[in-house]
Structure 1
């Protein structure tokens, strides 16, 4: 069963580092749903943004422990995909 591309791509990750990667290497970073593979991510990005993807790296970001006073908790863990776009393809996220 094919999943909706909007369910696979959760949100773009926009930080100083990802903006620099986008300008220098034509790489864009997205938070993706857990349990997705590179093929599903590639198809979803190509369908949503109408671009050609040349390479994908997927990283699972583990939750970190945080404290506020005596209370302990964890941040949210997520999965991110660093997508290298083909020559001539761009995604404007800013």
Structure 2
């Protein structure tokens, strides 16, 4: 994983992600499932120019679709990363 834009796909805006940002200075990103914590930390520091203190990751399995038929599919598996920034730093989301 060398390209920064392949490591971080998008920022995840939800109610819980907003609360984490306001209370704990943490931001939630959807990242490549093959990316590790070191690559995620380096990508956030280079793209946003901020100091990262901690990275937590979670893997999510894709959900089944059309389960009542014989030919069902599934949505893609994805990975979420919660990144904690140094006190006093923030990422402008708007």
TM-score after normalising by structure 1: 0.87
- The answer to whether the aligner puts 1:45 opposite 2:44 as a matched pair is yes
Structure 1 pair 76–89 and aligned structure 2 pair: CA distance change class (3 A): same
Cα RMSD (Å): 1.8
* SS of residue matched to 1:35: coil
CA deviations 1:21-54 (Å, max 9, x no partner) are 1111111000111211111110000000000000
Structure with bigger strand share is 1
Residue in 1 that maps onto 2:93 = 93
List gaps (5 residues or longer) in structure 1.
none
List structure 1 runs of 4+ shifted beyond 3 angstroms: 66-73
List gaps (5 residues or longer) in structure 2.
none
